[in-house]
Amino acid sequence: MKTVVSLFFLLGFIISSNAQKDSLNVGDKYADDQIYASISYAQFYDQPSLISKSNFSYSFSTGFIKDIILNRQGSISIAGGVGYGFDYFNHNLKVEEINNISNFSSDSSISGNIFKSHNLEFPLELRWRTSSVNEYDFWRIYTGIKFIYNLSNNFQFDDTNNIRNNYTNITSFTKLQYGLTLSAGYDEFNINVFYGLTPVFENSTINGESINTKILKFGLIFYIL
């Protein structure tokens, strides 16, 4: 029942926003692209030399972002918001947590080596677009920075005896991360890139080599007024 009520509330919000925009005149302030949802192909980059490229991995996110218009035409704005993100990585770094100490190694004998994380997102953007108060289909280029606060993380793998090993919220995981973002496109179809600047692990090494693994995502993002 709560889900149905939430959906009706969201639908009412969207209809109300559209109706308000239709009633505006040129020069009036308005907001665009308030709700976002993205799906991306994800990879680790800047990996240690012992670790090969990640296998197929993905990410999705959704949230709310608010415009502050900077010019009369409404073509330039800044925006800030909050959202939820989920990451799923099929990777090649063996991660274990023993006595609150994170251990990293390379082991080709393990399988099902998966990393999952649930995050809060805080995007900040500088936006340019060709919209007007009554124009809904337009070109856009949004760039900025996204801060990510990790709510939970889980690393799991199957050993040679097919026993599953699970480690949740490892101590060396970087709770607060950030990266550069770029969204560009026309109407509903927009490419989206996230280039992580923060290592996933803090003060971590493998065979004496620092682990500077970061996250790269590229995919599609959709906006709803």
Could you read off the pLDDT of 121-163 as tens digits, one per residue? Answer: 999 999 998 876 666 678 999 999 999 999 999 999 998 888 8
DSSP state of 4: H
pLDDT over 70 (residue 1):
no
What pLDDT is stored for residue 31 in this prediction?
A: 60
pLDDT at 5: 37
Q: Is residue 196 part of a domain?
A: yes
Range of the domain at 130: 30-224
> Which residues 6+ apart lie within 8 Å of 209 measured at CB?
48, 49, 50
The pair of three-digit structure tokens given for residue 189, joined into one six-digit string: 């179809």
CATH at residue 212: 2.40.160.20
Which residues make Cβ contacts (< 8 Å) with residue 111, sequence separation at least 6?
157, 158
Residue 25 lies in a domain: no
Which residues, at least 6 apart from 77, have a Cβ–Cβ distance to it below 8 Å? 31, 32, 67, 68, 69, 70, 126, 127
Report yes or no on 11 lying in a domain: no
Query: Is residue 3 situated within a structural domain?
Result: no
Is the model more confident about 97 or about 160? 97
Q: Which residue has the higher pLDDT, 14 or 142?
A: 142
Q: How confident is the model at residue 32 (pLDDT cuts 50, 70, 90)?
A: low
Q: What is the CA radius of gyration of the chain?
A: 21
In a domain, 8, yes or no: no
Summarize pLDDT for 34-83 with one digit per residue, the tens.
899 999 999 999 999 888 777 899 999 999 999 888 888 778 999 999 99
pLDDT at 169 over 90: yes
Q: In the prediction, which pLDDT does 133 show? A: 65
> What's the structural domain count of the chain?
1
Task: Answer yes or no: is 23 within a domain.
Answer: no
Say what the pLDDT of residue 120 is.
98
Of 136, 130, 162, residue with least CA distance to 18? 136
In the prediction, which pLDDT does 80 show?
A: 96
Residue 191 lies in a domain: yes
> Is residue 202 a part of any domain in this protein?
yes
pLDDT mean over 176-181: 98
- Other beta carbons within 10 Å of 188: 11
